[in-house]
Amino acid sequence: MGIRYGWVSRETGLVAWHFVSHVECDGIGGFARLLRERGAEIEQLPQTRHSCRGVIAPLWRLWRDGRKEGKCADRSDWSTPEPPLSVGWHLFTEGETEEILSACRRLKVTANSFLLRHLDLAVRPAVRRPRQGIAWMIPVNLRGDIRYPDDTENHVSCIEVRIGREDDAPAIHDQIRRRLARGEHRANFLLLTAGGILGHQAKVDYLKKERAKPAGTIGAFSNLGVWKGGEDGAGWVFCPPVVTGQLLGAGCVTMNGRLGLAVQGRDAGSWMERWVSQLCGRGVGPE
């Protein structure tokens, strides 16, 4: 599984794609490797803002609360993509990025919640039952809670966010906060590592199986956060892998004040167009 990164030239506006193995790195780690190879000085990678400890309590809450959740759309509601996947990307200007962040501040939500809300709207027409809830996989950075010798290794877990057709950004924001507060990311990390027995490849295989289940997620949405440095004026876009059973992968990263988006999947170009239109206030909404 390769994590996709795109360097967008300031002069030409063209993108040069780079791939980093997800067996070796998570999204943040892979990006740090690329930037360091290009001469960037990065002493410490972003640390978790959602620290969580314990074993029994997170696992218990994940099992207990998972039993209460209603059914969502599943694999039968979308066509599993077949390689090669198409790719769509967009790099906002600094002014456009600030407008998006201003909208987040007005709604009192994170950029994650705002971007995911509009991504869900953009993709929902591709789902056979678009009025059903849709489950998304959201990676969570665990640096600070866990430490490996190489800071670019997989310091990552995830939560599963279930979005209803009528859910707005504040509702998604509240749901993400609840899932983090109950330690869903901690519980998933414990299940993934199985007490430290599994190696990196075994973890990847485990994730593939989990995401391929009938009630699995439609795809991963990952935000690498805000970065500074690198080549002056150049931008970056990023996208997580698409695994068996998922329809798409979508990601974002902000470099030097410019938000970059990327999507890969069967209809990535049209999804990206709709996503950008939604974010710019020109969206037509779900069909």
Domains in the chain: ranges and CATH: 2-279 (3.30.559.30)
Average pLDDT rounded to a whole number, residues 65-93: 78
pLDDT in tens, 127-169: 999 888 999 999 999 998 888 899 999 888 889 999 999 999 9
Alpha helices by DSSP H, listed for 70-193, are: 94-107, 111-123, 169-181, 184-193
User: What residues does 148 pair with on adjacent strands?
Assistant: none
Average pLDDT of the residues in 186-204 = 64
Q: How far apart are CA 120 and CA 269, in angstroms?
A: 15
Q: Over 90: is that where the pLDDT of 118 sits?
A: yes
Local structure of 238: helix, strand or coil: strand
Nearest to 217 by CA among 77, 82, 87: 77
Closest Cα to residue 165, out of 216, 136, 115, 124? Answer: 124
Write down the residue that tokens 């599993």 correspond to. 80
Q: Is 156 exposed, middle or buried (0-12, 13-18, 19+ CB in 10 A)?
A: buried
Q: What is the pTM of this model?
A: 0.85
**Packing angle between helix 94-107 and helix 169-181, nearest 10 degrees?**
70
pLDDT cut 90: percent of the chain above it: 52
Q: Would strands 248-255 and 235-239 be described as parallel, antiparallel, or unpaired?
A: unpaired
Tokens of 94: 């600094």
Residue 53 or residue 131, greater confidence: 131
Rounded to the nearest integer, the mean pLDDT of the chain is 84
Q: For position 195, what pLDDT does the model report?
A: 46
